A = this chain, B = another copy of it.
Amino acid sequence: MSAPVYDRVALIGLGLIASSMFWAMKRAGLAGEVTGYARSAETRATAREIGLCDRVCETAAEAVEGADLVVLCVPVGAMGAVAEQIAPHLKPGSTVSDVGSVKQAVIDAVGPHLPETVHFVPSHPLAGTEHSGPRSGFATLFDNRFTLLVPVEGTDPEATARLRALWEGMGANVEEMDAEHHDLVLAVTSHAPHLIAYTMVGVADDLRRVTDSEVIRYSAAGFRDFTRIAASDPTMWRDVFLNNKAATLEILGRFTEELFALQRAIRTGDGDQLFDYFTRTRAIRRGIIEAGQDTDAPDFGRVLP
């Protein structure tokens, strides 16, 4: 247990990411006091019930009062309005961060509201599950996963270094990159895969009306993995796509091109092309396992009922 990185931290929005941050900060004693706020009375009541945050506040203004670090943990599309609301109450010299899955749009939405006296250091933890809400967080979520910091031009390096120390204290490997590159990399590794999974599950759902529950009963042959991803929060994902349009559409364009090439190979019976393609993609899996970013246990080591 080292000295706290921040005396006072405020979490705005109390869902999966905020609650995981709270438990991870507590685990390592990274913050003196953590305040929290969520817009619904229900979430605030749940937070109080499960001991999420040292103090749950009735307004965002109250939560950020005197905080050294404020982290916005709401959907990407709500960041601007929340920033506007808290701006007059921010402590001079404090740092504002966010955990949004898109960075350029959040910077554009939040930045203009913030007073010159605060530091703005956007972040994005590359960790999550398909569950959401205040009960879904856990202290180990960020362990050995990456968190990307996306400091805006002219940010005080001190402020960035301190936020880095917090994320490292929560278990994360921290990297810095610029917003545009972030949004492209995430379009490949997260946003396009999610849209594709949602689409495939939607197609199966249409067909389910024809074939009753067969797509459910016979899902173990690959499809069920898509349904986990497509069970993620609809608001969060709507906001991601609306706020990372260009990069997501670019990657989906490339995807469609390749898919058409493989469809043509199937149609013409070009087994060699299929075989070569399927061989090439294997290497990337090995890389991910070697990098410690996934388990090598068959079928993710999942235990079924």
Contact = CB atoms under 8 A, between A and B. Distances in A.
A223 B189 contact: yes
Interface string A172-203: 00000000000011101110111111111111
A223 to B, nearest CB: 4
Given A146-B217, A228-B285, A256-B259, A278 B238 contact: yes
Interface stretch (A26-34, A54-62, A127-135, A156-164): A127-135
A39 interface: no
Contacts of A231: 281-282, 285-286
A299 to B, nearest CB: 5
Interface residues of A, number: 109
Contacts of A286: 231
Contacts of A216: 284, 287-288, 291, 293
Interface string A201-214: 11111111001011
A205 B304 contact: no
Contacts of A185: 211, 214-215, 218
A294 B227 contact: yes
Contacts of A195: 259, 262, 266
A202 B258 contact: yes
A246 to B, nearest CB: 10
Contacts of A200: 192-193, 196, 255
Contact of A130 (B196, B292, B298, B303): B298
A116 B127 CA distance: 58
B281 A202 contact: yes
